[in-house]
Amino acid sequence: MADLKLSPWKKGLRNASFRGVRFETRDRELESGRRIALHEYPKRDTPFPEDMGKATREFSVDAYVIGDDYMSRRDRLVKACERVGPGTYTDHWGVSQRVVCRKIELKETSHEGRMCRFQLRFIEAGDGASAPTGIAATAVQLAGAASKLVSAAVGRFSSSFER
């Protein structure tokens, strides 16, 4: 009888989940790259591609829930995807990361009983430390203070000759 060993890559497969709600999957896609601002100038035959940094990673996951309890798992996954803020996504291939669910598409048919299919779209959450923040425009503040100082000095000088 043949020995039914799992190949090494299959041993590494894990249960996929989002915010602790488990689902099955066979396929995923990753879209990434660089953000490029393309500048094209008149009377020039070559463009200038300006690199604006790494593009946001987007994951597209074909998922499904199956079994007698599929309706409750379906509802829990929908609620998990609609919650505010990032959550942990663990995929079938062993990658676990913080993401935000950007979109969820659900499909159920009477032909496939006890089953629900999803198209999940996640984007990487980032660390939040690089969010834009307001900072003091010190040059503008300094120019304003200098202008007030000059006005006060001129006013004081003028008032000393009015007596």
- Domains assigned to the chain: 12-128 (2.40.30.200)
User: What is the distance between the alpha carbons of residues 63 and 70, in angstroms, rounded to a whole number?
Assistant: 12
pLDDT at 155 over 60: yes
More confident position, 60 or 14: 60
Neighbours of 17 (CB within 10 A): 20
Res 161 pLDDT > 80: no
State how beta strands 48-54 and 96-107 pair. Answer: unpaired
* Block residue for tokens 């996929």: 16
Q: Which residue has the higher pLDDT, 139 or 28?
A: 28
Burial (CB count within 10 angstroms: exposed 0-12, middle 13-18, buried 19+), residue 136 = exposed
- Residue 134 DSSP symbol: -
Alpha-carbon gap, residue 122 to 102, rounded angstroms: 5
Tens digit of pLDDT for each residue in 16-57?
Answer: 999 999 999 988 899 999 999 999 999 999 999 999 999 999
So what's the pLDDT on residue 42?
94
CB-count burial class (<10 Å; 0-12, 13-18, 19+) for 28? middle
Residue 87: predicted pLDDT:
95
